Amino acid sequence: MAKYKPGIRDLVHTSFIIFFLVMAALLADRYYLGGQEIPLNLSPEALDRLESESVWYGIYLQGSKIGYSNSITTVLDSSIISTDHTFLSFSMIGSRQEVNSYSRAVTDTLMRLQSFVFSLTGQDTDYGVRGRVDGNALNVVMNVAGESRGERIEIEEPPQLPSTIQLLLDDELLESGGSYTTTVFDPSSMKNVPLTVQAAGDTSIQYRGEIVEVRKVLQQMGGLEIVSFVDSSGNVIVEQSGMGYRMVLEDEQSARNGQWSDGDTDIQRLVAVVPDRPVYSARNLRGMTVEITGLGQDTLLLNGGPQSYSAPMLTIDGRGPDEDAPEEELLPEVLASANAPGHFVLSEHPRLLELAARIVDISEPAETKIRQILDWLEDNIEIKPTFSIPNTLEVMQRRSGDCNEFAVMFASLARAAGVPTRIAMGLVYVDDAFYYHAWCECYIQRWIGVDPVFGQFPADASHIRFIAGEMDRQVEILPLIGKVGVRIIGSETGLESLR
């Protein structure tokens, strides 16, 4: 049986959702528009509304201030410079975390991107990416763990800044419940995600002690819903998303200072999914059946591998490889993705390949390779609550991390060893509730769960998978937070081996 490491309970409770929380805070200043379905032709009047200005927002979680954001727009003769800085300070398992993000984008006067810089820094991360448009390509350079690597992304037309959407909020397009659909490029995940903006009518809200008439605007981005309230001057005065997260337009002094959180916000309980009754011996569960509600997304991966789903019933099978079991057929692109390197899983990096060669005996069967990797992770990577954009090189350098870092590192080593592996994201039962978590699945005739944090192969049946693939899909779980419900129908203990 795996040895439980200090802090594993608190780690599962917080680490995965902290990543979500901070990513939500960065949505306002790290996305660039591109591939519009409706062409954007900014009128001189619209451009005049984008006169040089500095805008400040306070960032709140459940009413407690956890940060601020500042956006500066400078209009020059032939270009526009947009600079954004977000600062977050929050308590994570008794320790204070401070995170800074910075972006600077240069566009032409039609807000078509020419170049950008994005960075994310904190005590556990130092991630940077810069890019420049060159014809029909976006050339980007990423800096992680002291190394730089470049990539060329083909584009149909230069991306545009989100400020363009702000200029459309009070135009005819949105005045009578109209909508606008486009895609956005995210420099932290290096991928495009869909964005839909729709007017949802006029309403009133309380803002700075007064009732203010506003227009409500809904934004759907990569599955996440953001609600904006726009005043009569076209200013977004409040913006909110799930979990009680809000951005409020403030003056500089109020945004930077104000009433900061005392650290008592219980993020663990805020996002926990408490079932109707306890689950006993969760780490030894061979099987579990639950009734699950509040999903409502067609992008979720609820069937396949350890799971079978027929709404609303979900059954998880925690057993390991079985030579007599029928082979699960995979689409060629799914198998190819599980063998290939990605933006975060650098399974073909020379340093990673050198490490894998020392850890894994390539002549052994997949089951042995998996156990060799789990043993190495237990002996060499410290479990530590961490905020970062998980990356193989950063984990190798820091030798610490939480479920995100463990999943990325395991997937990197397993793929390097020839074991098809994908990252799974969903819920796991710990103590008295289900908490959001990341682990892995390896393909050995079928997908089998592997949890590097618990040292489990196979992973126990309290793991409920919502999404699988690469780490950049985590944001797709955000819409589920606060909506999912779990009722325990039955469970079976007797998992013979956790390692």
Residues 374 and 412 in one domain: yes
Neighbours of 309 (CB within 10 A): 18
Residues 239 and 290 in one domain: no
Please give the residue that has the higher pLDDT: either 44 or 319: 319
pLDDT computed for residue 378 by the predictor: 93
Listed residue (9, 22, 14, 3) closest to 385, CA to CA: 14
Decide if pLDDT at 335 tops 70: yes
Residues 92 and 122 in one domain: yes
pLDDT computed for residue 103 by the predictor: 86
pLDDT computed for residue 211 by the predictor: 94
On whether residue 169 sits in a domain, the answer given is yes
β-partners of residue 236 are 230
Domain's final residue, options 194, 222, 256: 256
On whether residue 376 sits in a domain, the answer given is yes
Q: Residues of the chain with pLDDT > 90: what percent?
A: 35
Q: How confident is the model over 312-335, as a mean pLDDT?
A: 85
- Residue 434's pLDDT band, with cuts at 50, 70 and 90, is very high
Q: How confident is the model over 83-101, as a mean pLDDT?
A: 78
User: pLDDT of 365-415, one tens digit each?
Assistant: 999 999 999 999 999 998 887 777 788 988 998 888 888 899 999 999 999
Beta strand pairing status for 400-401 and 382-383?
parallel
Q: How confident is the model over 34-58, as a mean pLDDT?
A: 62
- Residue 10's pLDDT band, with cuts at 50, 70 and 90, is very low
The count of structural domains within the chain is: 2
pLDDT computed for residue 7 by the predictor: 45
Residues 226 and 356 in one domain: no
Decide if pLDDT at 13 tops 50: no
On whether residue 2 sits in a domain, the answer given is no
Q: Can you tell me which residue has the tokens 């337009």?
A: 249
Q: How confident is the model over 470-498, as a mean pLDDT?
A: 81
- Residue 14's pLDDT band, with cuts at 50, 70 and 90, is very low
Q: If you average pLDDT over every residue of the chain, what do you get?
A: 81
Helices (H), 125-180: 163-168, 172-175
Decide if pLDDT at 5 tops 50: no
The lowest-confidence range among 3-12, 61-70, 264-273 is 3-12
pLDDT computed for residue 415 by the predictor: 97
Residues 250 and 277 in one domain: no
Decide if pLDDT at 319 tops 90: no
On whether residue 246 sits in a domain, the answer given is yes
With H, G, I as helix, E, B as strand and everything else as coil, classify residue 2. Answer: coil
Q: How open is the CA angle 7-9-10, to the nearest 5 degrees?
A: 70
Q: What single letter denotes the amino acid at residue 355?
A: L
The lowest-confidence range among 46-50, 123-127, 291-295, 479-483 is 46-50
Residues 231 and 277 in one domain: no
Distance of CA 283 to the CA centre of its chain: 26
On whether residue 12 sits in a domain, the answer given is no
- Residue 6's pLDDT band, with cuts at 50, 70 and 90, is very low
Residues 231 and 283 in one domain: no
Q: How open is the CA angle 459-460-463, to the nearest 5 degrees?
A: 85
Report the CATH number that the domain containing residue 296 is assigned in CATH.
3.10.620.30
Give the range of the structural domain holding residue 129, as residue numbers without chain letter: 30-256
On whether residue 11 sits in a domain, the answer given is no
Contact 448, 361 (CB under 8 A): no
pLDDT computed for residue 353 by the predictor: 96
Residues 278 and 364 in one domain: yes
The lowest-confidence range among 93-97, 328-332, 419-423 is 93-97
Can you count the helices (H) and strands (E) in the chain?
11, 25
pLDDT computed for residue 9 by the predictor: 46
Query: Per the omega criterion (within 30 degrees of 0), is the bond before 326 cis?
Result: no
- Residue 482's pLDDT band, with cuts at 50, 70 and 90, is confident
Terminal CA-to-CA distance of the chain, rounded, Å?
Answer: 6
Decide if pLDDT at 170 tops 70: no
On whether residue 6 sits in a domain, the answer given is no
Residues 170 and 306 in one domain: no
pLDDT computed for residue 54 by the predictor: 85
Decide if pLDDT at 169 tops 60: no
Domain's final residue, options 226, 256, 286: 256
The lowest-confidence range among 96-100, 167-171, 227-231, 248-252 is 167-171
Report CA torsion sign: 352, 357, 363, 367.
negative
Burial of 280 (C-beta count, 10 Å sphere; 0-12/13-18/19+): exposed
Domain's final residue, options 256, 288, 313: 256
Residues 462 and 486 in one domain: yes
Decide if pLDDT at 1 tops 50: no
User: pLDDT of 212-258, one tens digit each?
Assistant: 999 888 887 766 778 889 888 778 899 888 767 889 999 999 999 87
On whether residue 399 sits in a domain, the answer given is yes
Residues 436 and 288 in one domain: yes
The contacts of residue 245 (CB under 8 Å, 6+ apart) are 21, 24, 25, 59, 60, 61
- Residue 3's pLDDT band, with cuts at 50, 70 and 90, is very low
Residues 157 and 185 in one domain: yes
